[in-house]
Structure 1
Amino acid sequence: MRLTYALPLAGAATLASFAAHAETITVATVNNNDMIIMQGLTDEFEKAHPDIDLEWVVLEENVLRQRLTTDIATDGGQFDVMTIGTYEVPIWAKQDWLVELDDLPESYNEQDLLKPIRDGLSQDGSLYALPFYGESSMMYYRTDLFEQAGIEMPEQPTWEQVEDWASQINDPDNGVYGICLRGKPGWGENMAFVSTLVNTFGGRWFDEEWHPEINSPEWKEAVGFYVDLMNNYGPPGATSNGFNENQALFSSGKCGMWVDATSAAGRLYNPDESQVADKLGFAPAPIAETPKGANWLWSWTLAIPASSDAKDAARTFITWATSQDYIELVGETEGWTSVPPGTRESTYENPKYQEAAPFADFVLNAIQTADPTDSTLKPSPYIGVQTVNIPEFQAVGTQVGQMIGAALAGQQSVDAALDQAQRSVDRTMRQAGYYD
């Protein structure tokens, strides 16, 4: 969709001259709520920058990742701004696929960016993407259902407790399911959640020699628990539900609990967006054998591919969309629970945000305590909480996600799915030269 706005210039000839010289940049982004708000503020950007037109490509998460990876790996040049995550940025920067973002304007206040987020987007001390929003993960729950069942939320819930609570509040006859969790296959969809579940059950993706451990006892216990929990107390058709679908289910009152991204909190607390805004509780992501790796660390970012032929205009846009001024603009126009979270210290120091967002300090702590360098009970050779920071993980994670999706759908047993996944990942790692 092309969004172009005419400005009040003097005379048709002047307008035609302006239109002829405006530079168009193509922005590829994900169809999450914060990005839809960004797209809706196109008019504000173009008024301030009449020499730049924005053209938007807004895609579902799995499709976006596939399109962007293909384009940048082939030097396609279709996009001037790419919405990518903490996983891609350091890997693509090493390949010289991204523009280094040095010499940012002083007004951008780079030091205001939260350190865990900034560090994840840096390579050799330089930023290669700017964070649009950042997140960890947490548990949301319906306080009214918990009160009716006489359940008190502890300071740190466990997965064993979650299963018990789900059994008590599950009421499918009245359209309420005990728990909603991601089931849509994809390395950034179901595997973002499943990886943290495996972490806290004591598992890891790879041993210290890069051999996969996907059919280990820890994986089988974690994935078996997940499949049973969802089949017993989750909504039907869970393999179609990713972040956006579960957010819609929870905000419409159909889930008693939901464990997912902290970035959903603002929308769930907004009474214009959520039917459960007045009965919403939150708690840390549940743990099992260990607290390590139970809550993830992620940032959706805006980066400029080296193949762009409009780098200066793209830089102008991404510095605007990730600035303190943009956050203020969203707060004043959309409401303070709608501002992009998890990127700037100034957001969490802002009295307007603190008043509107009772979850603010909780989310900030979750982001600051997530540790990608120490996310597994046993030592591992990789960096990442819900991802493994190697180029092969995009394919590996998606393969495993599809097999776990098949187990969730009842198409094969958990053991069979994980044995198949183990063979597939072992083959990929051997071909990539990690071991003979």
Structure 2
Amino acid sequence: MKLLPLFSSALVLALGSTAYAQTTLTIATVNNGDMVRMQGLTDDFTAKNPDIQLQWVTLEENILRERVTTDIATKGGQFDVMTIGTYEVPIWAKNSWLLPLDNLGDTYDVDDLLPAIRGGLSADGKLYAAPFYGESSFIMYRKDLMEKAGLTMPDAPTWEFVADAARKMTDRAAEINGICLRGKAGWGENMAFLTAMSNSFGARWFDEAWKPQFDQPEWKNTLQFYVDLMKDAGPVGASSNGFNENLTLFQQGKCGMWIDATVAASFVTDAKASSVADKVGFALAPDTGLGKRGNWLWAWSLAIPAGSQKADAAQKFISWATSKDYLALVAAKDGWANVPPGTRTSLYANADYQAAAPFAKMTLDSINAADPTNPAVKPVPYTGVQFVAIPEFAGMATTVGQLFSAALAGSTSVDDALAQAQQSVDREMKAAGYY
């Protein structure tokens, strides 16, 4: 009887066990709602792949970025699958830090991926990360509060309209903030929002000679408008609020408007989680009449670090998590409105999805409107809408994000925050040899 395990193992191998039998994949991911849902559905994957086990490292957004960047840059090897974004993929692929995804399976249908999303995750014609969900940003608003304020939200509003509406919808006694916007410091938190917002005000990170532009009036107009608006109509402690904190506030009925990721739409209209699910409307991100809106382009995506000894198993998992079949799995369990958005053309041609997701068209329009190759009103030497696609950006924008969060908190002035941002970024760009 003691020999039975040996015979069992031999039998498993004889029946065609794969070369990565008993592989454990360590997956780093962000604590956003769609990823949490995905973890709850992975029994479907392990049932189909019983010789692959999954180990999750789920982290807050800023911490995830720090951990995976350190790990891949130092070849630490902690993770087999990383959740990364549109900013990292082309830079890391160029550094040979990622493996190309060239074995996702015959039924994966790479050509079904939305062109804007696929393009941002590719380098030299090869896909280096598969999008779990894609997003732009838009306005989510309370239709009842807008009506109470005597206003009608246009499909394509201006910042002037948004600010006026936010102040009119604010009711401090009822704990209703006219608007909730990101204030938490981080290059992917407040700086994602503020960089996209600055595009619509005519600002830019750098001129054509890579000189920082925080000393220009367009950035002063952006930051002053933001700080004043949040002071008048934003929540207390807004400098600590990122995506998840504002999502909670909106679901609790404490925000008249929220300008943030389009992926949030399914969570604010989910009657199980949102107290205002039946009162939510959507509009494009605002502009100032200069030709650019304050919306971004992003995809949270799954990638494999170079040098991984588990690439075959990792691609199996990535293929499962970003496939058409996964979308159908979520739809069967939680309804079409809750499938991860913004990745596949076929989803937006799906009549069931269109019927279940009132935000579908506005999401697709917002994604298609973002132009990473021409993000600003004035010419720029970089690509990226809410980020600048150079390796130095993450560090510089983290510092700038801290300065701007301090301005929002009132611990420094707008002028001082901008002056320090100019000085800091100028120093880093000189050190990096840009000029």
* TM-score of the pair, normalised by structure 2: 0.95
Which residue does 2:270 correspond to in 1? 270
Which residue does 2:87 correspond to in 1? 87
Please state how far the C-alpha of 1:73 moved relative to its aligned partner.
Answer: 0.2
Cα distance in 2 for residues equivalent to 1:264 and 1:79: 27
Please show how residues 33-432 of structure 1 align to structure 2 within 5 Å.
33-432=33-432
Cα distance in 2 for residues equivalent to 1:378 and 1:239: 29
TM superposition outliers: structure 1 runs of 4+ over 6 Å:
10-13, 15-20
- Structure 1: which amino acid aligns with 2:258? W
Which residue does 1:7 correspond to in 2? none
Q: Are the counterparts in 2 of residues 185 and 402 from structure 1 also a CA contact under 8 Å? A: yes
| Cα gap change, 1:125 to 1:232, in 2 (>3 Å) | same
Q: Does 1:433 align with 2:420?
A: no
In structure 2, the residue corresponding to 1:256 is in which secondary structure?
strand
Q: Are the counterparts in 1 of residues 182 and 243 from structure 2 also a CA contact under 8 Å? A: yes
Please state how far the C-alpha of 1:171 moved relative to its aligned partner.
Answer: 0.4
Q: CA RMSD, aligned part only?
A: 1.8
Please state how far the C-alpha of 1:215 moved relative to its aligned partner.
Answer: 2.1
Cα distance in 2 for residues equivalent to 1:291 and 1:409: 31
Q: Are the counterparts in 2 of residues 72 and 307 from structure 1 also a CA contact under 8 Å? A: no
Which residue does 1:5 correspond to in 2? none
**Greater Cα offset, 104-113 or 389-398:** 104-113
Q: Are the counterparts in 1 of residues 133 and 301 from structure 2 also a CA contact under 8 Å? A: yes
Q: Are the counterparts in 2 of residues 293 and 375 from structure 1 also a CA contact under 8 Å? A: no
Cα distance in 1 for residues equivalent to 2:158 and 2:413: 25
Q: Are the counterparts in 1 of residues 200 and 292 from structure 2 also a CA contact under 8 Å? A: yes
Cα distance in 1 for residues equivalent to 2:372 and 2:405: 25
Deviation string 1:338-394 (CA, Å, 9 cap, x unpaired) is 100000011111222111101111111111121101111110000011000000000
Cα distance in 2 for residues equivalent to 1:198 and 1:359: 25
| Cα gap change, 1:152 to 1:95, in 2 (>3 Å) | same
Deviation string 1:268-292 (CA, Å, 9 cap, x unpaired) is 1111121111110110001124232
Please state how far the C-alpha of 1:17 moved relative to its aligned partner.
Answer: 9.7
- Structure 2: which amino acid aligns with 1:173? A
Deviation string 1:19-68 (CA, Å, 9 cap, x unpaired) is 99511000000000000011111211100100100000000000000000
Deviation string 1:223-249 (CA, Å, 9 cap, x unpaired) is 001001111110001111100110111
Q: Are the counterparts in 1 of residues 201 and 290 from structure 2 also a CA contact under 8 Å? A: yes
Q: Are the counterparts in 2 of residues 293 and 376 from structure 1 also a CA contact under 8 Å? A: no
* TM-score of the pair, normalised by structure 1: 0.95
Cα distance in 2 for residues equivalent to 1:15 and 1:295: 55
- Structure 1: which amino acid aligns with 2:411? Q
In structure 1, the residue corresponding to 2:215 is in which secondary structure?
coil
Corresponding pairs, count: 426
Cα distance in 2 for residues equivalent to 1:133 and 1:168: 34
Q: Are the counterparts in 2 of residues 28 and 56 from structure 1 also a CA contact under 8 Å? A: yes
Deviation string 1:129-188 (CA, Å, 9 cap, x unpaired) is 000000001001100011111101123211111111111110011110010000000000
Deviation string 1:374-422 (CA, Å, 9 cap, x unpaired) is 1111100000110000000000111100000010011110000110010
| Cα gap change, 1:12 to 1:281, in 2 (>3 Å) | farther
Please state how far the C-alpha of 1:106 moved relative to its aligned partner.
Answer: 2.2
Cα distance in 2 for residues equivalent to 1:115 and 1:178: 36
Q: Are the counterparts in 1 of residues 103 and 315 from structure 2 also a CA contact under 8 Å? A: no
Structure 1: which 5+ residue stretches go unaligned?
1-9
Q: Are the counterparts in 2 of residues 292 and 374 from structure 1 also a CA contact under 8 Å? A: no
Cα distance in 2 for residues equivalent to 1:137 and 1:16: 54
In structure 1, the residue corresponding to 2:140 is in which secondary structure?
strand
In structure 2, the residue corresponding to 1:106 is in which secondary structure?
coil
**Greater Cα offset, 269-278 or 219-228:** 269-278
Q: Are the counterparts in 2 of residues 293 and 371 from structure 1 also a CA contact under 8 Å? A: no
- Structure 1: which amino acid aligns with 2:89? V
- Percent sequence identity is 60
